[in-house]
């Protein structure tokens, strides 16, 4: 059996700003943007050619996360309920 990651929730502080960044500057495709209720907004974006999308919005996740910006990349870390720590890295634009 193949297992595939298809949707990853990411925390954002400003949904419109994050959506604009990922779509207009990074090139993600905006798949969905639905205001389900007053407290639930679902925004799904997919990187070009990827089988995995990200979801952000309001009422999606309570996960707060600071970005650690370094010369070699930006990092966000979080832990799951079992204490497994994840580190996401955004590589810098090479000049």
Structure confidence at residue 80 (pLDDT): 66
pLDDT tens readout for residues 10-37: 888 889 999 999 999 999 999 999 999 9
Nearest partner of 46 among 59, 30, 33, 62, judged by Cα: 30
Nearest partner of 43 among 19, 12, 62, judged by Cα: 19
Q: Evaluate whether the domain defined by 1-61 bears CATH number 3.10.180.10.
A: yes
pLDDT tens readout for residues 75-94: 887 776 667 777 777 777 76
- From the CB of residue 61, how many other CB atoms can be counted at a distance below 10 Å? 15
Enumerate the CATH 3.10.180.10 domain ranges in the chain, comma separated: 1-61
- From the CB of residue 29, how many other CB atoms can be counted at a distance below 10 Å? 14
Start-to-end C-alpha separation, the chain: 42
Can you read off the two tokens belonging to residue 21?
């960044």
- From the CB of residue 28, how many other CB atoms can be counted at a distance below 10 Å? 19
């Amino acid at each position: 059996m193949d297992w595939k990651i298809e949707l990853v929730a990411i925390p954002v502080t400003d949904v419109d700003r994050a959506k604009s960044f990922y779509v207009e500057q990074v090139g993600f495709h905006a798949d969905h943007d639905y205001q389900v209720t007053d407290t639930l907004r679902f925004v799904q974006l997919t990187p070009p050619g990827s089988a995995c999308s990200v979801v952000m919005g309001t009422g999606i996740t309570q996960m707060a996360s600071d970005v650690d910006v370094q010369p070699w990349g930006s990092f966000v870390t979080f832990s799951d309920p079992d204490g497994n720590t994840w580190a996401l890295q955004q590589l810098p634009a090479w000049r």
